[in-house]
Amino acid sequence: MILDKFRLDGKTAVVTGGTKGIGKAIAIALAEAGADIAVVSRSPQPNIEKVILGLGRGYMHHAADLAEREQTRNVIPAIVKRMGDVDILVNNAGIIRRSPAAEHSEGDWDSTLETDLTAPFILCQAAGRIMLKKGKGKIINIASVLAFQGGINVTAYASAKHGVVGLTKAFANDWASKGINVNALAPSFFTTELTEAIQKDPERSQSITARTPAGRWGTPDDIAAAAVFLASPASDYVHGVVLPVDGGWLAW
Protein backbone atom coordinates (compact mmCIF):
# COMPACT_ATOMS: atom_id res chain seq x y z
CA MET A 1 0.00 0.00 0.00
CA ILE A 2 1.31 3.43 -0.91
CA LEU A 3 0.63 4.90 2.54
CA ASP A 4 3.01 2.33 4.03
CA LYS A 5 5.85 4.09 2.22
CA PHE A 6 5.28 7.12 4.45
CA ARG A 7 5.58 5.15 7.69
CA LEU A 8 8.59 5.76 9.96
CA ASP A 9 8.08 2.97 12.46
CA GLY A 10 11.28 1.98 14.25
CA LYS A 11 13.19 5.05 13.07
CA THR A 12 14.94 7.58 15.28
CA ALA A 13 14.71 11.20 14.17
CA VAL A 14 16.78 14.13 15.42
CA VAL A 15 15.17 17.56 15.06
CA THR A 16 17.16 20.66 15.99
CA GLY A 17 15.18 23.65 17.18
CA GLY A 18 12.35 21.20 17.72
CA THR A 19 10.57 22.77 20.69
CA LYS A 20 8.73 25.51 18.82
CA GLY A 21 7.55 26.72 15.44
CA ILE A 22 8.42 24.73 12.35
CA GLY A 23 10.71 22.37 14.25
CA LYS A 24 8.02 21.43 16.75
CA ALA A 25 5.49 20.76 13.99
CA ILE A 26 7.99 18.57 12.15
CA ALA A 27 8.94 16.63 15.29
CA ILE A 28 5.29 15.87 16.07
CA ALA A 29 4.55 14.89 12.46
CA LEU A 30 7.51 12.50 12.37
CA ALA A 31 6.29 10.97 15.64
CA GLU A 32 2.78 10.61 14.21
CA ALA A 33 4.36 8.72 11.30
CA GLY A 34 6.02 6.34 13.75
CA ALA A 35 9.46 7.72 14.61
CA ASP A 36 11.04 8.14 18.01
CA ILE A 37 12.19 11.71 18.48
CA ALA A 38 15.28 13.43 19.85
CA VAL A 39 14.82 17.19 20.06
CA VAL A 40 17.79 19.56 20.30
CA SER A 41 17.34 23.07 21.71
CA ARG A 42 18.76 25.33 24.36
CA SER A 43 16.02 24.40 26.85
CA PRO A 44 13.31 21.72 27.07
CA GLN A 45 9.64 22.30 26.40
CA PRO A 46 7.34 19.95 28.35
CA ASN A 47 4.39 20.28 25.97
CA ILE A 48 6.12 18.60 23.03
CA GLU A 49 7.42 15.81 25.26
CA LYS A 50 3.88 15.16 26.47
CA VAL A 51 2.53 15.04 22.91
CA ILE A 52 5.19 12.65 21.60
CA LEU A 53 5.05 10.33 24.59
CA GLY A 54 1.27 10.39 24.23
CA LEU A 55 1.71 9.00 20.72
CA GLY A 56 3.59 6.06 22.18
CA ARG A 57 6.95 7.15 20.77
CA GLY A 58 10.31 7.43 22.47
CA TYR A 59 11.48 10.94 23.28
CA MET A 60 14.54 12.73 24.56
CA HIS A 61 15.66 16.33 24.80
CA HIS A 62 19.28 17.27 24.34
CA ALA A 63 20.24 20.74 25.54
CA ALA A 64 22.68 22.54 23.24
CA ASP A 65 23.40 26.01 21.93
CA LEU A 66 24.32 25.45 18.28
CA ALA A 67 26.15 28.77 18.21
CA GLU A 68 28.76 27.01 20.38
CA ARG A 69 30.74 24.60 18.21
CA GLU A 70 31.82 22.23 20.97
CA GLN A 71 28.19 21.79 22.00
CA THR A 72 27.24 21.10 18.39
CA ARG A 73 29.92 18.43 18.08
CA ASN A 74 28.50 16.61 21.09
CA VAL A 75 24.89 16.45 19.83
CA ILE A 76 24.92 13.27 17.73
CA PRO A 77 27.18 11.22 20.05
CA ALA A 78 24.97 12.10 23.04
CA ILE A 79 21.79 11.14 21.20
CA VAL A 80 23.22 7.87 19.89
CA LYS A 81 24.39 6.99 23.40
CA ARG A 82 20.84 7.29 24.71
CA MET A 83 18.65 6.45 21.70
CA GLY A 84 20.96 3.93 20.05
CA ASP A 85 20.88 5.23 16.50
CA VAL A 86 20.08 8.10 14.13
CA ASP A 87 18.03 7.40 11.01
CA ILE A 88 16.70 10.89 10.25
CA LEU A 89 18.27 14.30 10.84
CA VAL A 90 16.33 17.54 10.47
CA ASN A 91 18.56 20.62 10.64
CA ASN A 92 15.93 23.18 11.55
CA ALA A 93 17.48 25.37 14.27
CA GLY A 94 18.29 28.87 13.13
CA ILE A 95 18.58 32.49 14.17
CA ILE A 96 18.07 35.72 12.29
CA ARG A 97 19.52 39.16 12.94
CA ARG A 98 17.93 42.16 11.24
CA SER A 99 19.74 45.37 10.34
CA PRO A 100 20.58 47.36 7.19
CA ALA A 101 23.41 45.79 5.22
CA ALA A 102 25.81 48.67 5.92
CA GLU A 103 25.22 48.26 9.65
CA HIS A 104 25.16 44.46 9.90
CA SER A 105 27.76 43.70 12.57
CA GLU A 106 30.48 41.09 12.36
CA GLY A 107 29.15 39.64 15.59
CA ASP A 108 25.71 39.10 14.05
CA TRP A 109 27.35 37.65 10.96
CA ASP A 110 29.44 35.20 12.99
CA SER A 111 26.64 33.98 15.27
CA THR A 112 24.19 33.57 12.38
CA LEU A 113 26.60 31.69 10.15
CA GLU A 114 27.67 29.47 13.04
CA THR A 115 24.11 28.50 13.94
CA ASP A 116 22.49 28.44 10.51
CA LEU A 117 25.28 26.97 8.36
CA THR A 118 28.23 25.59 10.32
CA ALA A 119 26.05 23.64 12.77
CA PRO A 120 24.16 21.88 9.94
CA PHE A 121 27.50 21.02 8.33
CA ILE A 122 28.82 19.48 11.54
CA LEU A 123 25.58 17.59 12.23
CA CYS A 124 25.30 16.34 8.64
CA GLN A 125 28.81 14.93 8.90
CA ALA A 126 28.25 13.33 12.31
CA ALA A 127 24.89 11.77 11.43
CA GLY A 128 26.12 10.89 7.95
CA ARG A 129 29.00 8.81 9.30
CA ILE A 130 26.48 6.68 11.18
CA MET A 131 24.19 6.42 8.16
CA LEU A 132 27.08 5.44 5.87
CA LYS A 133 27.77 2.39 8.01
CA LYS A 134 24.15 1.27 7.54
CA GLY A 135 23.86 2.27 3.90
CA LYS A 136 20.72 4.32 4.51
CA GLY A 137 19.49 7.51 6.13
CA LYS A 138 17.56 10.73 5.58
CA ILE A 139 18.83 14.27 6.11
CA ILE A 140 16.55 17.29 5.74
CA ASN A 141 17.97 20.79 5.94
CA ILE A 142 15.69 23.76 6.43
CA ALA A 143 16.65 26.44 3.93
CA SER A 144 14.41 29.39 3.02
CA VAL A 145 12.99 31.16 -0.01
CA LEU A 146 15.77 33.64 0.80
CA ALA A 147 18.14 30.96 -0.48
CA PHE A 148 16.86 32.17 -3.87
CA GLN A 149 16.59 35.86 -2.98
CA GLY A 150 18.49 38.41 -0.94
CA GLY A 151 15.81 39.50 1.47
CA ILE A 152 15.73 42.84 3.27
CA ASN A 153 17.98 43.64 6.25
CA VAL A 154 19.00 39.98 6.70
CA THR A 155 22.48 39.84 5.17
CA ALA A 156 23.86 37.00 7.27
CA TYR A 157 20.65 34.96 7.27
CA ALA A 158 20.23 35.10 3.49
CA SER A 159 23.90 34.21 3.02
CA ALA A 160 23.62 31.27 5.41
CA LYS A 161 20.53 29.92 3.68
CA HIS A 162 22.25 30.14 0.29
CA GLY A 163 25.00 28.11 1.94
CA VAL A 164 22.52 25.53 3.22
CA VAL A 165 21.40 24.89 -0.36
CA GLY A 166 25.00 24.35 -1.46
CA LEU A 167 25.62 22.12 1.55
CA THR A 168 22.54 20.05 0.72
CA LYS A 169 23.55 19.51 -2.89
CA ALA A 170 27.18 18.76 -2.05
CA PHE A 171 26.31 16.09 0.52
CA ALA A 172 23.61 14.68 -1.80
CA ASN A 173 26.15 14.26 -4.58
CA ASP A 174 28.55 12.41 -2.28
CA TRP A 175 26.01 10.18 -0.57
CA ALA A 176 23.18 9.45 -3.03
CA SER A 177 24.90 6.29 -4.26
CA LYS A 178 25.40 5.19 -0.65
CA GLY A 179 21.73 5.11 0.27
CA ILE A 180 21.53 8.47 2.01
CA ASN A 181 19.04 11.09 0.90
CA VAL A 182 19.99 14.72 1.57
CA ASN A 183 17.33 17.28 0.68
CA ALA A 184 16.08 20.65 1.88
CA LEU A 185 12.81 22.45 2.50
CA ALA A 186 12.54 26.15 1.70
CA PRO A 187 9.73 27.83 3.64
CA SER A 188 8.61 31.35 2.88
CA PHE A 189 7.14 33.59 5.56
CA PHE A 190 5.70 31.49 8.38
CA THR A 191 4.02 32.56 11.61
CA THR A 192 6.82 31.65 14.02
CA GLU A 193 8.92 33.45 16.61
CA LEU A 194 11.60 33.99 13.95
CA THR A 195 9.29 36.34 12.05
CA GLU A 196 7.66 38.13 15.00
CA ALA A 197 9.21 41.48 14.09
CA ILE A 198 7.66 41.40 10.61
CA GLN A 199 4.33 40.09 11.86
CA LYS A 200 4.10 43.08 14.20
CA ASP A 201 4.69 45.50 11.30
CA PRO A 202 1.19 45.82 9.76
CA GLU A 203 2.40 47.31 6.49
CA ARG A 204 5.13 44.72 5.91
CA SER A 205 2.93 41.83 7.04
CA GLN A 206 0.16 42.84 4.68
CA SER A 207 2.59 43.29 1.81
CA ILE A 208 3.80 39.70 2.30
CA THR A 209 0.24 38.38 2.35
CA ALA A 210 -0.58 40.33 -0.81
CA ARG A 211 2.53 39.07 -2.61
CA THR A 212 1.86 35.40 -1.73
CA PRO A 213 -0.40 33.70 -4.32
CA ALA A 214 -1.98 31.56 -1.58
CA GLY A 215 -3.08 34.80 0.09
CA ARG A 216 -1.77 34.05 3.56
CA TRP A 217 1.31 33.37 5.65
CA GLY A 218 2.39 29.77 6.18
CA THR A 219 1.81 27.95 9.45
CA PRO A 220 4.20 25.34 10.90
CA ASP A 221 1.75 22.55 10.07
CA ASP A 222 2.00 23.49 6.38
CA ILE A 223 5.56 22.18 6.22
CA ALA A 224 5.25 19.08 8.41
CA ALA A 225 3.86 16.75 5.76
CA ALA A 226 6.63 17.69 3.33
CA ALA A 227 9.16 16.76 6.01
CA VAL A 228 7.50 13.38 6.53
CA PHE A 229 7.75 12.74 2.78
CA LEU A 230 11.46 13.55 2.68
CA ALA A 231 12.09 11.45 5.79
CA SER A 232 10.21 8.42 4.50
CA PRO A 233 10.85 5.63 1.96
CA ALA A 234 8.47 7.48 -0.37
CA SER A 235 11.37 9.82 -1.23
CA ASP A 236 14.06 7.18 -1.76
CA TYR A 237 14.83 8.46 -5.29
CA VAL A 238 14.80 12.14 -4.30
CA HIS A 239 18.30 13.58 -3.84
CA GLY A 240 19.63 17.14 -3.62
CA VAL A 241 16.21 18.76 -3.97
CA VAL A 242 15.30 22.12 -2.44
CA LEU A 243 11.51 21.95 -2.09
CA PRO A 244 9.79 25.32 -1.62
CA VAL A 245 6.88 25.32 0.81
CA ASP A 246 5.90 28.88 0.12
CA GLY A 247 2.30 29.37 -0.95
CA GLY A 248 3.56 30.12 -4.45
CA TRP A 249 6.01 32.85 -3.37
CA LEU A 250 8.75 31.83 -5.81
CA ALA A 251 6.28 31.35 -8.65
CA TRP A 252 5.11 34.97 -8.44
Read off the amino acid at residue 142.
I
Clarify whether 237 is annotated catalytic.
no
Active-site residue, from 157, 171, 189, 229:
157
Interatomic CA distance for residues 220 and 158, integer angstroms:
20
Q: Hey, which residues does 180 pair with through a beta bridge?
A: 137
Taking only Cα atoms into account, the Rg of the chain, rounded to an integer number of angstroms, comes to: 17
DSSP calls for 30-95: HHHTT-EEEEEESS--HHHHHHHHHTT--EEEEE--TTSHHHHHHHHHHHHHHHS--SEEEE----
Q: What are the residue numbers of the active site?
A: 157
